[in-house]
């Protein structure tokens, strides 16, 4: 039986038969369906995925006319992180003029709203210069990062220390107090950057510290939208479901803990977000086929229910892409093409 080049979720190369790949596609999709209480993929979708995984070509793409926009978070950091010594504006120009980015984000190296707050007025002129030096829509963005508000990084007791001691109520109260400060910081920085001309504000890796982190993101979005009705806000998620670190928090009457992408997007819509970036995580012990079918099942359900544009996260460890420092082009192109072909989405 023919063997095809394939990868595991950690990027390692393996050989698999078409039958094995198909079995993993079905299993991955059914895992997502079971977790999210959403439909699995249909036969023709499995067939398409099998085709691209069995293709001998290194690079897979979409038919002309089916391209979607490509937008990037934190890329001003990523260029320098790999040792290319350019300033942030030059990094934005590289993404726009050389790599074909459709939108970009200016970000500070600390990449969280809290540390940006005291230097926001120093960030404003850089944003203004960057806007003059580029043509594509330019966001200012950072992570909500609620973890920075608890000890030793912030004033509130650390819930991660309180919980193991059984101090659940105290931990929950700490989350509730911290999220109020986080909302203020996001609104403060978001307002300044919007008034400096940012085309949008990005709230990246929302929910990284759990449901309180996500709730703060939603409330901050609501407040910014009330203050500036035309503001564009993108909410990009941290993980495929909202971790219930507090567990009882609600927004618009819905419990946030445990929400998957198709439920999260309704919260983002209700808060007034303009774009939503859902996530599906890669399991490094499973094959690329398993991971991609699973990711598409989640993203498809999200796209079908969304009333705002969605831009699924694609990259190291998300969107069916393997966990490599430099994700291989075979898996990135297959994942991106499949996501664009099978899901109702507006960008990646």
The binding site for another protein (CB under 8 A) comprises 9-12, 35, 147, 153, 160, 163-164, 166, 168, 171-172, 209-211, 241-248, 257-260, 283-285, 316-317, 323, 325
151 contact partners, CB below 8 Å, separation of at least 6: 157, 158, 161
Main-chain phi, psi angles of 245, to 5 degrees = -75, -35
Instruction: Read off the tokens for 33.
Output: 């369906």
Phi-psi region of 84 (alpha: psi -120 to 50; beta: other; left: phi over 0): beta
Pairing of strands 104-106, 250-251: unpaired
With CA atoms as reference, report the closest residue to 206 among 275, 157, 155: 275
Give min distance, CB of 171 to another protein, in A. 7
- Which pairing describes strands 104-106 and 138-142: parallel, antiparallel, or unpaired? parallel
Least CB distance to another protein at residue 149 (A) = 13
Query: Closer CB to another protein, residue 257 or residue 288?
Result: 257
To another protein, the closest distance from the beta carbon of 59 in angstroms equals 24
Residue pair 42/52 in contact by the 8 Å Cβ criterion? no
Helices (H), the chain: 18-36, 43-54, 75-81, 88-93, 113-116, 120-133, 159-162, 168-195, 211-227, 261-271, 288-305, 329-342
Nearer to another protein, 62 or 323 (CB): 323
| Nearest to another protein of 233, 331 (CB atom) | 331
Cβ–Cβ under 8 Å, residues 293 and 29: yes
Cβ 28 to another protein, closest distance in Å?
15
d(CA 224, CA 271): 10
The 10 Å Cβ neighbour count of residue 198 is 25
d(CA 50, CA 292): 11
Closest to another protein by CB, 147 vs 347, is 147
| Shortest spacing between CB 38 and another protein, in angstroms | 13
**Residue closer to another protein (CB basis): 112 or 340:** 112
Separation CA 125–CA 307 (nearest Å): 35
99-126 burial, b if ≥16 CB within 10 A, otherwise e? Answer: eebbbbbbbbeebbbbbbbeebeebbeb
C-beta of 53 vs 175, nearer to another protein = 175
- Decide whether 72 or 139 has the Cβ nearer to another protein: 72
In the complex with another protein, the residue whose CB is nearer, 257 or 348, is 257
For residue 238, the 8-state DSSP code is: S
CB of 163 to another protein, least distance (A): 5
Q: Quick one: 15 or 66, whose CB is closer to another protein?
A: 15
State in angstroms the smallest separation of the CB of 35 from another protein. Answer: 6
Nearer to another protein, 153 or 346 (CB): 153
Nearest approach, Cβ of residue 323 and another protein (Å)? 6
Q: How far is the CB of 308 from another protein (least distance, A)?
A: 23
Q: What is the DSSP letter of 106?
A: E
Q: How far is the CB of 224 from another protein (least distance, A)?
A: 26
CA distance readout (Å), 219 to 118, 184, 202, 282: 21, 10, 14, 29
């Amino acid at each position: 039986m023919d063997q095809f080049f394939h990868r595991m979720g950690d990027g390692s190369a393996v050989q698999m038969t078409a039958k094995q790949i198909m079995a993993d596609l079905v299993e991955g999709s059914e895992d997502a369906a079971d977790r999210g209480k959403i439909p699995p993929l249909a036969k023709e979708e499995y067939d398409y995925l099998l085709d691209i995984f069995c293709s001998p070509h290194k690079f897979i793409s979409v038919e002309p006319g089916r391209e979607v926009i490509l937008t990037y978070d934190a890329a001003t950091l990523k260029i320098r992180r790999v040792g290319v010594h350019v300033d942030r504006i030059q990094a934005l120009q590289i993404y726009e003029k050389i790599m074909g980015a459709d939108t970009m984000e200016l970000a500070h190296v600390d990449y969280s709203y809290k540390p940006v707050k005291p230097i926001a007025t120093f960030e404003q002129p850089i944003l203004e210069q960057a806007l003059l030096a580029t043509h594509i829509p330019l966001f200012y963005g950072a992570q909500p990062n609620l973890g920075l508000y608890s000890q030793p990084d912030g004033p509130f007791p650390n819930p991660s220390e309180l919980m193991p001691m059984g101090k659940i109520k105290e931990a929950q109260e700490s989350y509730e107090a911290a999220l109020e400060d986080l909302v203020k910081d996001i609104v403060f920085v978001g307002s300044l950057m919007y008034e400096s001309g940012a085309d949008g504000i990005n709230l990246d890796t929302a929910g990284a510290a759990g449901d309180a982190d996500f709730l703060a993101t939603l409330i901050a979005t609501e407040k910014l939208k009330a203050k500036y009705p035309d503001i564009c806000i993108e909410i990009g998620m941290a993980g495929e479901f909202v971790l219930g670190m507090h567990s009882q928090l609600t927004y618009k009457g819905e419990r946030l803990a445990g929400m998957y992408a198709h439920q999260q997007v309704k919260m983002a819509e209700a808060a007034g977000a303009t774009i939503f970036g859902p996530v599906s995580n890669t399991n490094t012990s499973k094959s690329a086929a398993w991971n991609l079918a699973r990711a598409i099942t989640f993203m498809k359900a999200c796209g079908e229910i969304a009333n705002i544009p969605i831009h699924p996260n694609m990259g190291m460890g998300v969107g069916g892409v393997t966990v490599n420092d430099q994700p291989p082009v075979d898996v990135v192109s297959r994942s991106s093409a499949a996501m664009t072909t099978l899901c109702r989405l507006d960008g990646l």
